[in-house]
Amino acid sequence: MCGLIAYYKASERPLDPQLIEDMTHALAHRGPDDYGFCFAGDNGPVLWRNAHNTPPLRERGVAMGHRRISIFDLSTAGRQPFVSADKRYAILFNGEIYNYVELREELVQRGHRFSTDCDTEVLLAAYQDWGPDCFNRLNGVFGIVVWDHQTKELVVARDRLGEKPMLYTCLDGDWIFTSEVKALLKHPGIALRPNEQSLLQFLANGWSPIGEECYFADIKAVEPGTYLTLSNGSVTKTRFWDIATMDKRSPRSDAAAAEELDELLTDAVRIRLRGDLRVGAMLSGGLDSTSVISSIGTVLESRPSDGRMIGDRLQAFTASFPGMPIDETDKVEELCRSIDIAVHKIFPSEQSNVEERLNAVAFSMEGPFWNPAILVNDSLMKLVSGSDAQIVLDGLGGDELFAGYGRHLPLALRDSLHGLRFGEAMGNLTGMKRWHGCSVPKELVRAMLPRRWHDGLQGSLEALRGERKSPDAELFRSPLRDQGRGRAGFGGSSELDRALRSDLVESNVPRWLEMGDRISMAHTVVSRSPFFDHRLIEFAFGLDNGLKIRKGKTKHLLREAKRRQLPPIIVNDFRKLPFSGPGSIWLNGPLKSLALSLKDEKASRLAAFLHPKPLGAIVDDFFANSGAQGGAMWRLWRLLSAEAWLRAYF
């Protein structure tokens, strides 16, 4: 978990080493423990610590800078950039390799010798031995830069889901790679501009940019699960992992699948307890975060020595919303009675410095954010940073892997009906009525209609009621272009399959990962997500969907896997309470004046992109309805967060 900068000089224009230092130190929040620099040119890699005696860099090559959070091997032996003993390779690494212990053992058998206990040295040895093929052997999160002095190639890789960022821009033939845009602000030749289409897509539907796009024009992202190779002025992109290619595996019994899931999650947790810092956990009271906590208990039962990472009691961090529908305090308290944990709480509804937090988060996120939950997460990470825990495990990903959202239920029903599995369909219909209050006739009609008819009918009804409007026609100054989402060639034999794959790579997960990295790093906290272990992802997408939704119950298999370990109040609660925040309370209170300022065409940064009358109508609509929690709140929140981002950077 670090910050990096790699400046690939394809030209012979002189480069000031002080600029590399300044750009690197702009990422100090990502790595306050240590730093280092390197230039790899004609004479091989040369390390330095400050630019006082370093002349301008004139030859072709790559300049590297690194800020480090020390997690594995706290000594300076793990300092980066890291150079191989034969001086052929120089490596930069942001992230963690959770299976570095197993990789190290394998590499020792292949003749490698190690002088540190850090995962960076293991990563470099893996690259020496297997080249880019090593990326598929890594269980972890990473943004990696490797310079090969012999071939004069630069390889830049990003982990499978894109948990760690890797941004880049091209400036007069030179390439600059970095963990955050903030580093680029230090370069006098780079003028940041908003990516208008990414901004408009966000305002229309809350989508984050995917693929190579980001919220800044002329800045791209290395796509998740890919690596770039820069050589002799050319760039090639290679994908090493792709969820779209994963197929179903052979059927198995409920009991066998539940046991395998529990073992996989436990092992994912086990390797994420590694390091030399204290570990805590995020806790919502829902099934996913409590499953992770129960797996921590399982690991400690079999490996008591791992308890040194926990301390006397596991520290858990939670948000409480007394009197609100999203509050899960009762389940948190029940878990505490069954498992001995120490819970630290925040009460977001009582916060008074919300506008200050909004502005800070806008700068940290480097883009607008769709959900007031991000301010809750920011406060939680601040709470963690003030504790003795510097690493936290969370429950992100359980809903997207095992079908945890209410919108997944009608898709499963449609699939069972169209597959002529009528017993399965009746079980889902009965459960949807019992557990979620759904109308059986309505859900049956929706499921039986062909999707194009259903969507057309639904759109016609919304239009008649005035509920569906065209934001690009009425609100946006520029037309909203189709970015091709939802048809990325996902495999899968069912609508639920395709929806889950879209959740993972297009909609939900990219947004959670942005938040998870940027907010945790803003507070110098290391956040780990066991459900995003690639083995669990591949397992989940190989399952029959009947193991995910059964009789109207979401996340059926995960519930079965954890039934003996968690209290019934958690396992048998089939509602999906979103991780959110008191957005309506904040907009009607500490953020009201800021929200009203959006109507001022001279003061609002959004005025350059939106027409003032429909923008003002959205603000008025929210307050005219007493700040209701519905669509008006979500529209206004997106506008407010976009305004905060524009003010932070432009």
Asked, for residue 367, whether it belongs to a domain, the answer is yes
Given this model, what pLDDT does residue 461 score?
Answer: 47
Mean per-residue pLDDT for 601-620? 93
* Same domain as 347, residue 234: no
- What CATH code is carried by the domain that includes residue 76? 3.60.20.10
Is 375 inside a domain boundary? yes
Cβ-contact 490, 501 below 8 angstroms: yes
- The pLDDT, as a whole number, for residue 487 is 44
Higher per-residue confidence, 259 vs 580: 259
Number of domains observed in the structure of the chain? 3
State whether 114 and 199 are in the same domain: yes
- At residue 484, the pLDDT reads 64
Residue 304 has pLDDT above 90, yes or no: no
Residue 413: CB partners within 8 Å, gap ≥ 6? 425, 428, 429, 432, 443, 447
> What is the rounded distance in angstroms from the CA atom of residue 531 to the CA atom of residue 538?
11
One domain, residues 67 and 200: yes
Inside any domain, residue 427: no
* pLDDT at residue number 466: 46
**Are 102 and 53 part of one and the same domain?**
yes
**Residues 323, 181: one domain?**
no
Q: How far apart are CA 589 and CA 348, in angstroms?
A: 13
| Pair 237, 129 in one domain | yes
Same domain, residue pair 314 and 170: no
Q: Which of 79-83, 194-198, 448-452, 580-584 has the lowest mean pLDDT?
A: 448-452
Q: Are residues 587 and 606 in the same domain?
A: yes
Give the separation between CA 297 and CA 211, rounded to whole angstroms. 37
Residues 283 and 207 in one domain: no
User: Does residue 340 belong to any structural domain of this protein?
Assistant: yes
User: For residue 488, what pLDDT band results from cuts at 50, 70 and 90?
Assistant: very low
Q: Is residue 499 part of a domain?
A: no
Domain assignment present for 138: yes
Q: Which of 20-34, 66-80, 182-196 has the lowest mean pLDDT?
A: 66-80
Look at residue 529 and tell me whether its pLDDT is greater than 50.
yes
pTM confidence score: 0.93
Per-residue pLDDT averaged across 313-338, rounded?
88
| Per-residue pLDDT at 52 exceeds 70 | no
Mean pLDDT across 630-638: 86
Is the separation of the CB atoms in 91 and 155 below 8 Å?
Answer: no
Residues 40 and 80 in one domain: yes
Do 624 and 522 share a structural domain? no
For residue 468, is pLDDT > 50? no
- Lowest mean pLDDT of 312-326, 438-452, 599-613, name the range: 438-452
Q: Is 486 inside a domain boundary? A: no
Question: Domain with 348 in it: what CATH number?
Answer: 3.40.50.620
Q: What burial class does residue 52 get, using C-beta atoms within 10 Å of its C-beta: 0-12 exposed, 13-18 middle, 19+ buried?
A: exposed
What pLDDT sits at residue 442? 84
Rounded to the nearest integer, the mean pLDDT of the chain is 90
**pLDDT of the residue at 434:** 87
pLDDT at 465: 45
Confidence bin at 483 (pLDDT 50/70/90): low
Residue 628 has pLDDT above 70, yes or no: no
Following CA atoms 376, 378, 384, 390 in sequence, which dihedral angle do they give, to the nearest 10 degrees? 140
pLDDT at 538 over 90: yes
User: 211, 241, 271 — which closes off a domain?
Assistant: 241
Structural domain harbouring 111: 2-241
Residue 146 bridge partners (DSSP): 91, 155
Q: Is residue 269 part of a domain?
A: yes
- Answer yes or no: is pLDDT of 629 > 70: no
Query: Do residue 23 and residue 121 come from a single domain?
Result: yes
- Spatial contact of 124 and 196, defined as CB atoms under 8 Å apart: no
